A = this chain, B = another copy of it.
Amino acid sequence: MADQQKMVQSVTSRDEDFAKWYTDIVKKAELADYSPVRGCIVYRPYGYAIWENIQRILDAKFKETGHENIYMPMLIPESLLQKEKDHIEGFAPEVMWVTHAGNEKLTERYCIRPTSETLFCEHYANIVHSYRDLPKLYNQWCSVMRNEKTTRPFLRGAEFLWQEGHTIHETADEAMEETLRMLDVYTRFCEDYLCLPILYGKKTEREKFAGAVATYAIEGMMHDGKSLQAGTTHYFADNFTKVFDIGFTGRDNTKQYPHETSWGLSTRLIGAIIMTHGDDNGLILPPDVAPVQIVIIPVAQHKEGVLDAAYALRDSLKENYRVKVDASDNSAGWKYAEYEMKGVPLRVEIGPRDIAENQCVIVRRDTRQKYFVKLENLTGEIAAILEDYKKSLYKKAEENRAARTFTAKNMEELEGIFAKTTGYVKAMWCGDDNCELALKDSLGVTSRCIPFEQESISDVCVCCGKKADTMVVWGKSY
């Protein structure tokens, strides 16, 4: 018991050292453990269960929007990866190479997939012949490897879990529609289920995906004001499909090339949840993806009827919620600290006095607000509290973002803001790569995106002062 309390107390304060606070939470909430493979983590049951909930919800959304799941090999022959020039240039420095099978040297190296555009294209070339075969709307849940220099659990890893959608369409319009549709699916998922306010828009040329014509992203602002790119969707036009010769016979009987998209979202989202909602007592989980939504703590559980009442409560809730009774012999204080660390949204306490009053006590993880609820009203009350809990997580995150969002007309203003704080700065940009690079070198900030909803902050580029009519949101990022 003493150990456990010490464990909770020993979490680094979030405002003192955000990075250390983060890794403390990852370890102490038992989300992940380090592994003997450089840059790779063990996704522990509690962390993996969050991912399973994310998968379940998103997979249903993908299927509702007409997508089918498939599974491709985890290896890519070197010659295949090299087919599209920009793509190989982007990924070559970070792929892991397989050179031997048992004792035999392979005649051609394979890389472990960093992403699977090339494999999907090769498959599409086999199965698409006519406009009647289009569109193909495929998705794959898998892990990928990218040999990142610096890694952090969930945020950046040599291996991570994700989904990658790959679709091909008869026309460019359809492909662009799909690219934006999936950006919207991602945005709605993050806002409605994870309570993460999302900034979305187009990436600049410098920040786009290797081989894409256009990349769109959803960005979340973390508690410390840094941005986390939480998902991207890409429009390829017919760049890859020409290279891979995925020709099809069109409605007019001529040979045409389909237009392609891809989109991905990964276990980074778990990092986003931690860094947006968590506090000095641990995780705070959005109910829709919490492995345990309600923990029931029997108070004075040795007294007659208490455990029975706790299990009866569980049974009345388990059809609608992921609910757990903790009847271990740890003290109540120990249990409270443990489930706060694990971010369980609601704690329900029930003891002899509650039973006598036909009530229980509900405590919210986010605000620690207490509710005394009559048992006959329990289901309705819990639904209402969770609804409010979700709104309140979202609102708190949105307030943080609003307080950290600024505008800058020129370099002086921009420098002034980043000298004092971290956040988003809306400023105009001329479109020149060099201006982006200059801001990165001098301030460590990058273009997060070109929001669809544009504002006119000034007439000139924040960096070079030349005429500019594009508003970019700038920030530091994970």
Contacts and interface: CB of A to CB of B under 8 A. Distances in A.
A182 interface: no
A147 B35 CA distance: 25
Interface stretch (A43-51, A311-319, A332-340): A43-51
A77 B37 contact: yes
Contacts of A147: 101-102
A70 B44 contact: yes
A238 B94 CA distance: 39
Contact of A33 (B48, B74, B98, B127): B127
A260 to B, nearest CB: 17
A138 B95 CA distance: 30
Contacts of A74: 74, 112, 143, 145, 159
A72 B42 contact: yes
A69 interface: yes
Contacts of A161: 71
B42 A159 contact: no
Interface stretch (A118-126, A272-280, A357-365): A118-126
A415 interface: no
Taking residues whose C-beta sits less than 8 angstroms from the other chain, chain A's interface range is: 35 or more
Contacts of A42: 70-73, 119, 123
Given A35-B122, A35-B123, A126-B33, A71 B93 contact: no
A379 to B, nearest CB: 23
A76 interface: yes
Contacts of A92: 102
A186 to B, nearest CB: 22
Interface in A232-258: none
Interface in A77-103: 77, 80, 92-103
A97 B95 contact: no
Nearest to A157: B73
A75 interface: yes
A100 B111 CA distance: 9
Contacts of A43: 70-72
A380 interface: no
Q: Which of A35, A80, A122 has the most chain B CB within a 10 Å cutoff? A: A35
Given A37-B73, A145-B74, A159-B75, A102 B94 contact: yes
A37 B98 CA distance: 12
A52 interface: yes
A35 B98 contact: no
Contacts of A22: none
Q: Which of A48, A52, A74, A119 has the most chain B CB within a 10 Å cutoff? A: A74
A416 interface: no
A89 B76 CA distance: 28
A110 interface: yes
A175 B44 CA distance: 22
A191 B145 CA distance: 38
B93 A103 contact: yes
A145 B73 CA distance: 10
A15 interface: no
Given A71-B42, A71-B43, A37 B76 contact: yes
A182 B207 CA distance: 49
A75 B38 CA distance: 10
Q: Which of A41, A80, A102, A145 has the most chain B CB within a 10 Å cutoff? A: A102
A172 to B, nearest CB: 25
A141 to B, nearest CB: 10
Contacts of A397: none
Nearest to A91: B102
Given A100-B99, A159-B75, A49 B37 contact: no
A135 B477 CA distance: 41
A433 interface: no
A68 interface: yes
Interface of A: 33, 35-37, 40-45, 48-49, 51-52, 68-77, 80, 92-103, 110, 112, 119, 122-123, 126-127, 138, 142-143, 145, 147, 159, 161
12 contacts: A33-B127, A35-B123, A36-B77, A36-B122, A37-B110, A43-B70, A75-B159, A93-B103, A94-B101, A95-B102, A97-B101, A99-B100
Given A36-B122, A42-B71, 10 more contacts: A33-B126, A35-B73, A35-B123, A42-B70, A92-B102, A96-B98, A97-B101, A99-B100, A112-B112, A142-B143
